[in-house]
Structure 1
Amino acid sequence: MASSWLLRGGVMTVVHVLARVLLGVAVIHSPLHSTTWKTVVVAVVVLIALLWGGVDGIADARANPDPDDYQDLTVRWLKAGVFAGVVAGVVSWAIGTFWFAGIGQANFAVELFAGGSFTALLIFVPAFVGAAVGRFLVRRDQRKNEPDTSDWSVHEARTEEISAS
């Protein structure tokens, strides 16, 4: 199970670092549109986490029809987000310090703690929401396929039986 969060954290680290480098290039070439570029980059990172979390939620709900048996996707994505935040902060600081000054990095402590926390939340919150929505969609489909056993339908069925006799 450790590889599960590690895989997600590693991929999201690459996504975040790549997004920061591409943002640096875009801002250098078009500084007047930096707000637009920042918005697009954050939206892409959030969308990837949201979709991956949704896929996790769908897979988990399909594998475990009983909600009591669901896996703990919250901790999985929290670990992935914290890992990605710390590693992306260190990598972004190193890239900005030694190779590409346009990445917009701060000093090491700020990059590690503030940047890492922001990145962790940028990954964790959308993934958590995606997992919840994915599970909800599967449960809704499962409920559609179940026979209706509410008290009202049982009452209607008994009424029909009595009136038919």
Structure 2
Amino acid sequence: MSSWLLRGVVMTAVHVIARVLLGVAVVNAPLHSTVWKTIAIAAVVLVALLWGGIDGTADARANPDPDDYRDLTVRWLQAGLLAGVVAGLICWILGRFVFAGIGEASLFIELIAGGSFTALLVFAPAFLGAAVGRFLVRRDQRKGQETEDDWSVHPDRDGEHVAG
């Protein structure tokens, strides 16, 4: 299975579960719908952010030279588009035939507007997470290089540092 396909399928599941739990919460406590919506969006964003960070960290450790980094942008864009379209379709089916509280939008709106929104909820945090993960690894690598450079400097008999 392609890496973007795995990410897309998992993010689809995360989004559908968040929407179903959101539907249950809003039906049972409609006065707190804003809080529930915020929690559902935050859950999807958090999973994408953490997984993107893990991807960025692993990529930066595998490729110390930034020119050799893999293209995580396209990977996460494909995953986000897949998650958006498939989650939109699944949520429309669930809302139409199984669970009335999940939404009443038409199929076209679910696929286009909902799919676009879901794609952004997956892509943007994952891209940010990958960038932060790579940055943290590069920062640690630079610290390691500074430590190695410090070993090449040693004090002479007078206590002054002389390059060796």
Question: Structure 1 residue runs of 4+, over 2 Å off?
Answer: 147-150, 159-162
Q: Structure 2 CA distance, aligned partners of 1:147 and 1:37?
A: 47
Q: Structure 2 CA distance, aligned partners of 1:132 and 1:161?
A: 38
CA contact 1:92–1:105 (8 Å) conserved in 2: no
- Paired positions, count: 155
**1:75 and 2:74 matched:** yes
1:100 — aligned with what?
99
CA RMSD for the aligned pairs? Answer: 1.9
Higher helix proportion (structure 1 or 2): 1
Q: Structure 2 CA distance, aligned partners of 1:76 and 1:60?
A: 13
Give percent identity, aligned residues only. 71
1:16 — aligned with what?
15
Any idea what the Cα deviations from partners look like across 1:74-100, whole Å, max 9, x if unmatched? 000000000000000000000000111
Any idea what the Cα deviations from partners look like across 1:50-109, whole Å, max 9, x if unmatched? 000000000000000000000000000000000000000000000000111100140010
Q: Structure 1 CA distance, aligned partners of 2:44 and 2:16?
A: 10
TM-score relative to the length of structure 2: 0.89
What 5-or-longer segments of structure 1 have no aligned partner? none
TM-score relative to the length of structure 1: 0.89
Q: Residue 75 of structure 2 aligns to which amino acid in structure 1?
A: R
1:27 — aligned with what?
26
State how 1:86-165 maps to structure 2 within 5 Å. Answer: 86-147=85-146, 160-161=161-162
Q: Structure 1 CA distance, aligned partners of 2:43 and 2:110?
A: 20
Structure 1 counterpart SS, 2:70: coil
